Amino acid sequence: MIISILQIIISVILIILILLQERGSGLSGIFGGSGEGFYQTRRGLEKIIFITTIVLIVFLAGLSLADIFLK
């Protein structure tokens, strides 16, 4: 029961963090038409949000596996 509640909380936080990330070039980047030509490094708050997102995704995957094995 506690694992399911943690999964819901982490999922909501992940949704918020993903929506906060910059969507640089929009839809044209999907098809290769970004036109930027350089790699932009993440700095400051953007880097913290990015790393936190990755950590929470790994933690959510671990909770999901624990939930499967404990049932």
pLDDT at residue 4 tops 90: yes
pLDDT at 24 over 70: no
Q: How would you class 46 by CB atoms within 10 Å of its CB: exposed for 0-12, middle for 13-18, buried for 19 or more?
A: middle
Containing structural domain, residue 9: 2-21+40-70
25-60 pLDDT, tens per residue?
455 555 555 555 556 677 888 899 999 999 999 999
> How many domains are there within the chain?
1
In the numeric block, which tokens belong to residue 49?
A: 């949000």
26 domain residue, yes or no? no
Within a domain: 32 = no
Pair 13, 23: CB distance under 8 Å: no
pTM of the model: 0.74
Residue for token digits 């819901």? 8
The answer on pLDDT for 62 being more than 60 is yes
